[in-house]
Chain A
Amino acid sequence: MGEFLLVTIQVDLYDRLALALENDLINMVSKTEARGVLIDISAVSIVDSFMGRILGNIASMSKIMDAETVVVGMQPAVAITLVELGLTLTGVYTALDVEKGMELLRNKIGYQPKEEEDLYDDFI
């Protein structure tokens, strides 16, 4: 994944697991100096206020560590429920799928693909 950390949440997390994820992820951002975090929640069937808060925390903490966070793959029913619950996930970027999420991350951090660097070299 290069400069990005990709996290796929495969099961519904209970609170302590979600907190552990938050902790592990921030440590990984520091260790790998990742510039972006992509969290795939397509297998998650509910996001309640606690899980929502964890996602928000990960985004704010990553931001302080100079990394952007994008949450991808939210199921439509989960999105409808989140809004009615009153959670707007302020400060968390979202995208429909992993591909679009990667694109968004690249734009956010101004990442230039390798080919362009080569082109630039040729130009000089």
Chain B
Amino acid sequence: MMTLSKETLAIQREPDVIYFRNKAKEYAVKIGMSMVGQTKLITAASELVRNMLRYANGGNAILEIVIRNNVKGVRLTFTDKGPGIKDVKQAMQDGFSTGRSLGLGLPGAKRLSNEFDIKSEVGKGTTVTIIRWKNGL
């Protein structure tokens, strides 16, 4: 996999979420992703950015256009230095939340992405990476 372009945005306040979503959409449009694909990508991004703000007081979001086997995609990486997730498996279940949300954020974001990866260490932070390919279902 190769990275064609890359940009890092700091997420510190709620309005940053809107700006980031628009940027992610821009990237998706640039590679010719379908309307449904774009919507899935920015919805997943919205869930993950919100998690970062709520549980870790913000962090960094990296936007990339990547290419693999001649197919382009948008990769988003969310890195925070928050408390980390004690039980990632549990956090990935529908309806589980330590906050007062619906508990759809992480599992929902996974369903909306073509590729999903999460790494978390208690006391260190969490990194979530998602990819949506141009031709992804």
| Interface residues of A, Cβ cutoff 8 Å to B | 12, 14-16, 45-50, 52-53, 75-78, 80-81, 84-87
Which positions 87-106 of chain B face chain A at CB distance < 8 Å?
94, 101-102, 104-105
15 additional contacts (CB under 8 A) given A12-B21, A15-B17, A84-B108: A12-B18, A14-B18, A46-B42, A49-B102, A49-B105, A49-B108, A53-B102, A77-B35, A80-B36, A80-B40, A81-B43, A86-B104, A86-B107, A87-B102, A87-B108
Query: In the complex, what residues of A have CB within 8 A of residue B46's CB?
Result: 46, 48, 50
Q: Does the CB pair B36–A77 fall under 8 Å?
A: yes
In the bound assembly, the distance between CA atoms of A53 and B40 in angstroms comes to: 18
Say which residue of B43, B94, B104 sits within 8 Å of A46 (CB atoms). B43
Residue tally, chain B, CB below 8 Å to A: 25
Q: Give B21 Cβ to nearest chain A Cβ, in Å.
A: 7
Say which residue of B14, B39, B47, B107 sits within 8 Å of A45 (CB atoms). B39
B63 contacts chain A at the CB level, 8 A cutoff: no
In the bound assembly, the distance between CA atoms of A112 and B50 in angstroms comes to: 44
Q: Specify the chain A residue showing the minimal Cβ separation from B54.
A: A15
B112 contacts chain A at the CB level, 8 A cutoff: yes
Q: Does the CB pair A85–B21 fall under 8 Å?
A: no
In the bound assembly, the distance between CA atoms of A81 and B35 in angstroms comes to: 11
Say which residue of A16, A47, A49 sits within 8 Å of B101 (CB atoms). A49
Which positions 7-38 of chain B face chain A at CB distance < 8 Å?
14-15, 17-18, 21, 25, 35-36, 38
Q: Give 9 nearest A-B pairs by CB, closest first.
A: A77-B39, A85-B108, A48-B46, A14-B14, A49-B104, A77-B36, A77-B35, A81-B39, A86-B104
Q: Does the CB pair A53–B14 fall under 8 Å?
A: no
Q: Does the CB pair A14–B17 fall under 8 Å?
A: yes
